[in-house]
Structure formats: structure tokens, C-alpha cells
Amino acid sequence: MTITPPDLSVFETLESEVRSYCRSWPTVFDRAQGSRMYDEDGHTYLDFFAGAGSLNYGHNNPVLKRALIDYIERDGITHGLDMSTTAKRSFLEKFQSIILRPRDLPYKVMFPGPTGTNAVESALKLARKVKGRESIVSFTNAFHGMSLGSLAVTGNAFKRAGAGVPLVHGTPMPFDNYLQGRTPDFLWFERLLEDSGSGFNYPAAVIVETVQGEGGINVARAQWLRELADLCKRRDMLLIVDDIQMGCGRTGAFFSFEEAGIIPDIVTVSKSISGYGLPMALTLFKPELDIWEPGEHNGTFRGNNPAFVTAAATLDTYWADGQMEKQTLARGEVVETSLLAMADEHRRSIVSVRGRGLVWGVEFADKERATKVCARAFELGLIVETSGPQSEVVKLLPALTISTEQLDEGLRILARAIRETA
């Protein structure tokens, strides 16, 4: 049997060399539904990537699709900048009643632009405006976006190098367990803050991910997060939680910081907030921080009304009764059990298994092994990516709505890919 390779010529000759994911998955995808993707030759792939966390509810979710089609068919507003629309009102009302109010979160809602980095840029700008200081503290192996302000608080050397200019006004600190318990948490941070001879520019804010997705699935302990929140309060710094990839239920609760019992000053949300993969982002902050002048931060595409429609339908469908969180945590336990079994089978090659909810990582001693595992998994019909500073971690990010059968199938394929790349 002769297999004809897909025609990738237009992508290879016309599209920029900056393209990346398509190099790992060399086919031409044509359609998708739920947790399945199909290429133009009819091959089927199980998706454990979920649009880098933008498709928590699967591809073309039928409930969300129906709401979107109905809205488009009645000629609902598509592009609205920051005008008041029925779609925006519906989303805001549901977000307040289903998400914010039950959690006793007082946040104002800002629409900064359609992407995660837009949300981070606005958060950094607001923190500096409120505190009158320039410096922002971030953490080792952090990832907060690809625009210049976000890159300045991102740890990855490869991504930072793409800026082409100095990335300033940011200072990295050790993330939880970065020093493997050899130093008390925040000892260095506290010392710099209190020593007038440290040369440390006093920060306006600290930005943190509760689970570092791109950084290698590094999970911050709840106690560490609570101590960080306390440090920020004592030292007059704002706490920004970047919940772009880990929010919207990825770790179980709607916001990933809920487990720690903290209330950040500012929260950035994007990726799966629209529920359908449509570009949308939010910057949430405490009311007393809302010192913006009208139009002081804006963007042409911050009023993506079709995204408001699917976002409102997502909240109604998946977050009104508390069942999504329970389901995610239960399926996360299935993933953890399976991955620990793989780690036990491959004790010499698997360094660790770590994660929360339905985000998990498998770290390999051989830094190149994770890439080989992902490539073999793709050949076997499973889409997974790598993460970590040296791409040494296989990252699992299935849809929250994945069936137990599909979850088991994907884990079996992953186990086979690990065995066959030994």
C-alpha cells in the first residue's frame, strides 16, 4: 500500500518560517468534533492538545455551535469595539451570577483585546499606573506572552531572544521548588525587599502562574501561593495571577487559584473563556484599582461579540451546577494513576509526573525523548506537545469534556509511544 504524503507545498514556500506546531504534526487538518481531529485524507487523531488550552470543551461543541449559528443567522453584532451590545450584556450578567458572585469575587471586568498577551499587557500597565512603580517580579520558567511587556516577565531564553530589544523592568524570582527545598520560600525575595543596598527596584506587582504550562507543568503548592499573597500584601505589591491557560476549569475549579484560597488583585483570563476557540480575553481586577481614563487602554477587536455568545452559553451549560469541576478532578485522577504506572515501568527514563486537574506533564531524563514520544504518538493517532525550557516534558491537555473511553484510549497510545521510543 502506497501512502501519498500530504501536499504541504504552499505552507512551506509561502508561510513564514516562524510556524511551529505544524512542523510537529505534518498533515493538513480538515475538520474536528469533540476530541477528534481529521485530516484531509481521512486519518483520525485524538486531541490531547486542545488548542493549547483554548478548547476546554472540545472542537465544535454542539451546544456552543448552536448558540453561535443562531446569533449569526439573526444578524447579531459581530464587531462591536467596546460598544454596549446584547451579547456583551448577556455574558457579563452570566459571568457575574455564575462565576464571580458565588465565589465572592468583587472584580471589575475589562476587555483588553482578544489574546492572552493583551490581557497581560493591560495588567502590567494597570499595576504600574496604580503603584507608580515600573518593576514587575515574575518567576523562573514563567511564560506570559510574546509581546514585549509579556516577554519581559517570561523566563524562556529562546522566546526572549526574539524580542530584538532589551527586555526591562522585570526581575525573576525562584518559582516553587526551583531550588528543590534547599532554601526557605521567598528568603531571597524578602531580603532584597528589605535591604536598601540590594539595588532592587521596588516592584509594583508580582505576576505568577499557579501551574506553569509552557514552563514544564510546574505546580505551585497552595501553601506557597498563600505565602506569596501574604508577602505581596505586607510589602505593598499587587498580586497578578495569570490564569490564561490554567483558568476556565483546567485545574478543576473555574479559577486555578481557588484551591489556595487567595484573592489576587488582578487576574488575566483568555484561551477557553469563549468556550469555542474564538479570540477573547479578560483582565479582572479589584474595583479600587479601576483608575483607567476612558480609552487609555483599548483595541479594535476587544468587542468580539460571537465570542461573548459562546462564552455565555459555556457558563450556562458547564458552570451553573458545579459538575464540571467534579468531573475534571475525577478524570485527572485517572490520568495521574495511568502516568504513575508508566513512570514505574520506565523508572530510568521518566524523571517525574506532575499536574493538577486535566493538565499533566511527564518529564524525561533524556531531554530529546519527549519530542520523540510526541512524534511517535502522532504516528499512532494522538496529538500531544512538549513543554519545558528544553522541551523535556510531554504535556497532556485533553478537553475537559473528553469521554472516559477517549481518555483511556489516549493514555494507552501514550504508553505505547513511550515504550516504542525507549
Name every residue whose Cβ is closer than 8 Å to that of residue 175 and which is 6 or more positions away in sequence.
139, 140, 141, 142, 208, 212, 215, 218, 220
**Strand (E) positions, 40-166?**
44-47, 108-110, 136-139
**Which pLDDT belongs to residue 1?**
41
Neighbours of 1 (CB within 10 A): 2
- Are 261 and 64 in contact by the 8 Å Cβ rule? The answer is no
User: From CA 107, how far away is CA 111, in angstroms rounded?
Assistant: 13
- Are 171 and 205 in contact by the 8 Å Cβ rule? The answer is no
Exposure pattern of 184-211 as b/e (b: 16+ CB <10 Å)? ebbeebeebbeeeeeebbebbbbbbbbb
Mean residue pLDDT across the chain: 96
Best CA proximity match to 118, nearest among 85, 149, 95, 155? 149
Residue type, position 107, single letter: Y
Exposure on the CB side of residue 164, measured as CA atoms within 13 A = 2
Best CA proximity match to 381, nearest among 42, 59, 13, 31? 42
Q: Is 186 left (phi over 0), alpha (psi -120 to 50) or beta?
A: left
User: From CA 269, how far away is CA 315, in angstroms rounded?
Assistant: 14
- Residue located via cell numbers 523566563: 155
What's the gap between Cα 399 and its chain centre? 13
User: From CA 169, how far away is CA 137, in angstroms rounded?
Assistant: 9
Provide the residue-wise pLDDT of the chain in tens; the chain has 422 residues: 445 778 999 999 999 999 999 999 999 999 999 999 999 999 999 999 999 999 999 999 999 999 999 999 999 999 999 999 999 999 999 999 999 999 999 999 999 999 999 999 999 999 999 999 999 999 999 999 999 999 999 999 999 999 999 999 999 999 999 999 899 999 999 999 999 999 999 999 999 999 999 999 999 999 999 999 999 999 999 999 999 999 999 999 999 999 999 999 999 999 999 999 999 999 999 999 999 999 999 999 999 999 999 999 999 999 999 999 999 999 999 999 999 999 999 999 999 999 999 999 999 999 999 999 999 999 999 999 999 999 999 999 999 999 999 999 999 999 999 999 98
